[in-house]
Amino acid sequence: MSRELAVFGGSFDPPHIGHVFLAAYALSVGVERVLVVPTFQHAFDKQLQDFAHRMRMCELAFSLLPAVEVSPIEQELGGISRTLRLVEALATRYPGYQLRLLVGADILLQAHRWHRFDEIRAIAPLLVAQRGGYGADAADAGTLSAGPLLPEVSSTAIRASLARGDDVSTWVPAQVRAYVEAHQLYRASTT
């Protein structure tokens, strides 16, 4: 049996309970380790909170899962984040592992926008969990697992809630909420 390392990339802006559930799911189905990789510079030009903040929030969010490591590799690689470049670099750094790309089913709907998606899947076969709000149309030729249905929550909705001052305690880990408050992140602009 080969050792598996799940690569879990994303903006994590901010990380939420769905992200934590997905990492726990990967570990529960036999993945030995999960490597959480915050995007450094989004390939689709999405504006993100500062990388250092997102790294620290990820460290806090996943702190209760000892087999999860948060990696700054995207910052080390520099420039626009590309998943192919990431999995190629990780394959070199972790030669004793079979890489798996850990994603929610919603990502499959965006696969056509990814740079050389078939090559990514060849290096790191997908480990897919269903995501609330995304139905059978998200299935991609048998890659949609019969795994759990992740909660219907998104970082976009959480940012909007935080900007309004809404309570996000059911969706954002307590340590992350405390960090967001301490650093006054995601507040509505006063200008």
Instruction: For 174-186, write each residue's pLDDT tens digit.
Output: 999 999 999 999 9
Return the pLDDT at 116: 86
Q: Is residue 188 situated within a structural domain?
A: no
pLDDT digits (tens, 9 = 90+) for 106-149: 777 777 777 788 899 999 999 988 765 555 444 443 444 456 67
The CATH number of whichever domain residue 45 belongs to comes to 3.40.50.620
At which residue do the structure tokens 């990814």 appear? 114
Going by C-alpha positions, the residue among 159, 165, 166 that lies closest to residue 186 is 159
Query: Looking at the domain assignment, is residue 191 inside a domain?
Result: no
In a domain, 119, yes or no: yes
Bridge partners for 6 per DSSP:
34, 100
H or E element that contains 57? helix 51-61
Domain presence at residue 107: yes
- 130 domain-assigned: yes
Range of the domain at 58: 3-182
23, 64, 106, 132 from 153: Cα distances, Å: 15, 20, 12, 8
Beta strands across the sheet bearing 68-70: 68-70, 33-38, 3-10, 97-104, 126-131, 144-150
In a domain, 9, yes or no: yes
Is a pLDDT exceeding 80 seen at residue 61? yes
189 located within any domain? no
User: Considering the domain boundaries, does residue 187 fall inside one?
Assistant: no
**Is 13 a residue whose pLDDT tops 60?**
yes
19-58 pLDDT, tens digit each? 999 999 999 999 999 999 999 987 766 789 999 999 999 9
Q: How many domains is the chain built from?
A: 1
pLDDT tens, residue by residue, 163-173: 999 999 999 99
